[in-house]
Structure 1
């Protein structure tokens, strides 16, 4: 797959599947601060390279991977409970909607595209942020960490979202900002857009069909987008 196609030619899709963190909401500063706080509380060094490896993955899998560093008596449940408690601290960076996300969601719904979120976060986390950012009502379904056995880069979450929406993966587009997420979308058989940091990173752009830094400009057309249909078939009239 290549991100070097004609960015102006719309991709027609019946469904659009969105990652949450870093794709729809700008939660990366908060997430990194939270992980640093967790590890620092146990005297564990946590650098940028290590944090980058957490992107797009479920917290459960990250904790299990690093559990031996928390001491011989630590359990994954205890560390997860500690992470949850830290997430409630008031001095963490705020979470905001990614610029352009609301305009893209409104446009896709207007043109008959079914929408879903596929996140590595938990259900309560996802629902809370979608509601606070005012976009929860756009989505037909949310696939969260509790809904799958295998997290990204496994395609299970995206395949489940397609089943819930009643569309084939080849009829869907995926929006992702991480390597794990783009790999999951590709393995599901969907067309992938690299967004956010991924759109600015050559190695991640190569995992996608397209790359867009501004979600509002994403060239996606829905089943009822007649203007896009005319552009693709060349039947539009010159003004």
Structure 2
């Protein structure tokens, strides 16, 4: 539970990243990238693979293309990644601790929520339904709907337009450096999820490992 001594936050809307924020998908994601690199005989260090967090797979492939040599095209790598993602032995993403509790509190406070993910629409809707939280979201912004992925703020700005709110009146929940930068660049305040570096944490309002520990959020202009 949030500490009663923590001052409540106010927001007109709450925007959520998906991977690493609402669901713990990083073990699956990093293993998927590791397998892609290994399939082409390319070394992928844990630090490099972790740096892909929060970003669109197409952007990562374009950035890393030279590592794969002159043979494979971006389309080849995207198709290979999709094939690998169908493997049944990959870790299954689970809801992050406290996610259901926080989403319920936001709903009860009358605060609309949006999902802003670097994943595609099919990916996002599949996992939201599988985890039983799809009804909490007023709108989804996915990788297919923006021309520039995180750390660009385009996705968060689009979500705000759809909800009819100004970014400065929203709270964003993010776990990655790219996502936190996207939130800040949009003008929104950010709550970091997980264990960010001290430098990254300093750019946020708060850090929570369990989403249920998020400070109380009241709807701006209302009584909560």
| Superposition TM-score, scaled by structure 1 size | 0.88
**Root mean square deviation of aligned Cα:** 1.5
Aligned-pair CA distance for 1:217: 1.8
Aligned-pair CA distance for 1:9: 1.0
| Aligned twin of 1:151 | 149
Aligned pairs for 1:26-41 within 5 A? 26-41=24-39
Instruction: In structure 2, list runs of 5 or more residues that go unmatched.
Output: none
Secondary structure of 2:195's partner?
helix
Q: Given that residues 13 and 113 in structure 1 are in contact (C-alpha distance below 8 angstroms), is that contact kept between their aligned partners in structure 2? A: yes
- Residues 225, 26 of structure 1: CA spacing in aligned structure 2 closer, same or farther, 3 A cutoff? farther
Aligned-pair CA distance for 1:222: 2.1
Matched, 1:222 2:219: yes
Aligned-pair CA distance for 1:156: 0.4
| Aligned twin of 1:203 | 199
Instruction: In structure 1, list runs of 5 or more residues that go unmatched.
Output: 1-5, 229-239
- Higher Rg: 1
Aligned-pair CA distance for 1:11: 1.0
For 2:171 and 2:221, the matched residues in 1 are separated by: 16
Aligned pairs for 1:124-135 within 5 A? 124-135=122-133
Q: Given that residues 179 and 207 in structure 1 are in contact (C-alpha distance below 8 angstroms), is that contact kept between their aligned partners in structure 2? A: no
Secondary structure of 1:16's partner?
strand
Superimposed CA distance per residue, residues 176-212 of structure 1 (whole angstroms, 9 cap, x where no aligned partner): 00111011101101110011132xx312201212111
For 2:195 and 2:142, the matched residues in 1 are separated by: 22
For 1:224 and 1:106, the matched residues in 2 are separated by: 20
For 1:50 and 1:20, the matched residues in 2 are separated by: 20
**Structure 1 stretches of 4+ moved >6 Å:** none
| Aligned twin of 2:117 | 119
Q: Given that residues 112 and 224 in structure 1 are in contact (C-alpha distance below 8 angstroms), is that contact kept between their aligned partners in structure 2? A: no
For 2:164 and 2:221, the matched residues in 1 are separated by: 17
Superimposed CA distance per residue, residues 64-96 of structure 1 (whole angstroms, 9 cap, x where no aligned partner): 111122231311111001101100100011110
Q: Given that residues 17 and 174 in structure 1 are in contact (C-alpha distance below 8 angstroms), is that contact kept between their aligned partners in structure 2? A: yes
| Aligned twin of 1:162 | 160
